[in-house]
Structure 1
Amino acid sequence: MSNSSRRTFQLDFEKPLDELEARIEQIRELASDSHVDVSEHIQQLEAKAAQLRKEIFGTLTPSQRLQLARHPRRPSTLDYIQSICDEWLELHGDRLGDDDPALVGGIARLEGRPVVMLGHQKGRDTKDNVARNFGMPTPSGYRKALRLMEHANRFGMPILTFIDTPGAWAGVEAERRGQGEAIAYNLRQMFGFDVPIICTVIGEGGSGGALGIGVGDRLLMFEHAVYTVATPEACAAILWKDASKSDRAAAALRISSWDLRELGIVDSLIPEPLRGAHADPLAAAAVLKKVLVADLERLLQLSPEQRRELRYEKFRRMGRVEERAARDAAGSDRAIST
């Protein structure tokens, strides 16, 4: 992405770096017009920019990672699918009379192997986001996803899902049409599929809307993606009745990929280009493809029974640390009281 494009979607914490890069660009243009040799000065400024880049992106706060995960130019599900697949055929409809554009999916070939790919799809601009409902699926989206996954399971095709949503659509109409049931049914069915399932958080993984396509043998996560039980804004509004305290909520929720790997929720982190996946989408896609192919090869060596058992155990392990800590604390309280 060019410097001018980055400045169009400038994040607050990137401002010092963008200003320095703009200064370097301006000096280059002036030197070119006046035929003055400023190469040494430019080298010094570029070294300073490189150092500043490492400092900024090496010490990001959870709320800053959330900004990167929500970046308007961050690659979407369809961007990654079209970049990593040999062939791609999108399929539509939940076979109950609706087709949700916020959740897309279809049949593809990855390194020559037939697979089913599906994921949340956000828009690029306001008009597109409205059409895609800002990546928040309705019940028909989850039922479409289930139809595609059942098709994959029937014909022995691995399932690859891409998570990028602030949450499932919470409108009255969605509730009337069975939003909770649609997500819960997906969770149950995904635990029982015979084929390998790899889930990747590519941007923002929010609430049950993310989990509705997030039960798999492997859970991967891009370095600057986030995964959380609720958006920090919603969490702050619930706990402190003040959505402006979202920074505090983001830190408390431990939404970053590093925290989630430490907690045992995420299996593997996918590195991003230094300024984020939006800075070099093709490079991000290349790394994603490499990781998916390697993980898929390992999973295909297991039997369906082994994969189901490992999938079950993976999710049963989540939360045990917190339960043990709670028991220890209760035991300490009893010891003090006696």
Structure 2
Amino acid sequence: MRHFLEFEKPIAELEGKIEELRRTTDAGGIDVAEEVGKLRDKAETLLRQTYAKLSPWQKTLVARHPERPKAMDYVRALVAEFMPLAGDRAFADDAAVVAGLGRFRGHAVAVLGTEKGRDTESRVQHNFGMARPEGYRKARRVMELAGRFGLPILSFVDTAGAFPGIEAEARGQAEAIARSIEAGLEAPVPFVATIIGEGGSGGAIALAAADRILMLEHAVYSVISPEGCASILWRDAAQAPTAAEALRMTAEDLRKLALVDAVVPEPLGGAHRDPAAMMAAVGDKVWSVLEPLLALDGATLRARRREKFLEMGRAGVV
């Protein structure tokens, strides 16, 4: 059964009626094809109207949709011969960060991603996509490995942020994130990052200090979650919708601010309604921005990447 968000209730009601009529037909009842067709058209029109005017808070809810494709879904769909790599060679493996080697469109690549998991068991296994220091050290290790062997880096970011537990801080969370960002900026190979769901704070940019940053249409990318911002500014998490407006965290806002390079359109109703089409579109867009980068040498890539992020600061937008 499809999961509907709060603002999708009118759509859910229409689709529920369509399903009831279909069951009537399947049970040998009267032919209701015409009525089903009318309801389907009405539901699609309502879906189109609803998603054409989503608020930043509603986009946040879509970005968190439980049925939305996760990082490993993109890896399985787009990367052939994927070989996972584990561990940070210092403390442990962190399942919140997935990493490995494979082939994308015939080219050997290094792959990174923050994986939230899909059901309760996998979410717990991946710590809901919130990485600890060892996850960022693993990412740094793989980025340095990619630089050593001339492998382009692809990352798929979907995290509410780094794990905030005291044990993570005790093991050097801030330093690990900073080193991961540094590794991304210094990598002498093409680097393309895609924000596929939530891009939360330093936990996201640790895997997104890239030459090209792509963002899905209904993804969000921000220094803090709306709930966290509301709790700090208003002492009231219920003010999250107001905070989401102020944070300018949507793909449209960030493209205007030149903090992301391109927005990938999602299927009508969000990526979760047609995951296969979404993943194919991401693959095409990643290749379109990666291909020109393959012709550049390491020094040029590093210089351009450095200038890209410095320019964000000069523009006064971060």
Q: TM-score, normalised by structure 1?
A: 0.91
Q: Spell out the pairing of 1:256-335 with structure 2 (5 A cutoff).
A: 256-322=250-316
Take 1:321 and 1:91, find their aligned partners in 2: how far apart are those partners?
38
For residues 197-208 of structure 1, the aligned pairs below 5 Å read 197-208=191-202
**Alignment partner of 1:119: what SS?**
strand
Which residue, 33, 58, 62 being the options, matches 2:56?
A: 62
Instruction: Describe how 1:189-200 pairs up with structure 2 within 5 A.
Output: 189-200=183-194
Match of 1:44? 38
1:18 Cα deviation from its structure 2 partner: 1.2
Matched, 1:75 2:66: no
- Report the equivalent of 1:27: 21
Which residue does the alignment assign to 2:141? 147
Q: Secondary structure at the match of 1:93?
A: coil
| Aligned partner of residue 162 in structure 2, secondary structure | coil
The answer (yes or no) to whether the contact 2:143–2:183 under 8 Å persists in 1 is no
Q: Distance in 2 between matches of 1:34 and 1:98?
A: 59
Given candidates 221, 225, 232, the residue that maps to 1:227 is 221
Mapped pair 1:96 → 2:90: yes
Counterpart residue type for residue 96 of structure 1: A
Distance in structure 1 (CA, Å) of the matches to 2:208 and 2:120: 27
- Quick one: which amino acid aligns to residue 66 of structure 2? P
Structure 1 runs of 4+ off > 6 angstroms? none
Cα distance, 1:322–1:192 mapped onto 2, change above 3 Å: closer
Q: How does 1:99-248 map to 2 (within 5 A)?
A: 99-248=93-242
Pairwise CA distance, 1:34 = 4.8
Describe the SS at the equivalent of 1:43: helix
The CA deviation at 1:32 is 4.4
Q: For the structure 1 residues 193 and 247, does the alpha-carbon distance in structure 2 shift closer, same or farther, using more than 3 Å as the test?
A: same
Q: If the length of structure 2 is used for normalisation, what is the TM-score?
A: 0.96
What are the superposed Cα offsets for residues 194-218 of structure 1, whole Å, 9 maximum, x if unpaired? Answer: 1001011011000111111110100
- The whole-number CA distance in structure 2 between the counterparts of 1:313 and 1:321 is 12
Per the alignment, residue 329 of structure 1 pairs with none
CA distance in 2, matches of 1:186, 1:49: 45
Q: Which has the larger radius of gyration?
A: 1
Letter in 1 for 2:281: V
In 2: Cα distance, 1:39 partner to 1:124 partner: 35
Alpha-carbon deviation of 1:321?
A: 4.0
1:36 is displaced (CA, Å) by: 2.8
Q: CA deviation at 1:35?
A: 4.8
Counting matched residue pairs gives 317
| Aligned AA (2:36) | I
Pair 40,148 (structure 1): closer, same or farther in 2 beyond 3 Å: same
3-state SS of the aligned residue for 1:204? strand
Percent identical pairs in the alignment equals 48
Q: Which structure 1 segments of 5+ residues have no match?
A: 324-338
- Structure 2 SS opposite 1:92: coil
Structure-1 separation of matches of 2:188 and 2:158: 25
CA RMSD of aligned residues (A): 1.4
Q: What do residues 112-135 of structure 1 show as CA deviations (whole Å, max 9, x unaligned)?
A: 110000111112122322221111
Give 3-state SS (helix, strand or coil) of 2:82's partner.
strand
3-state DSSP class of the match of 2:110? strand
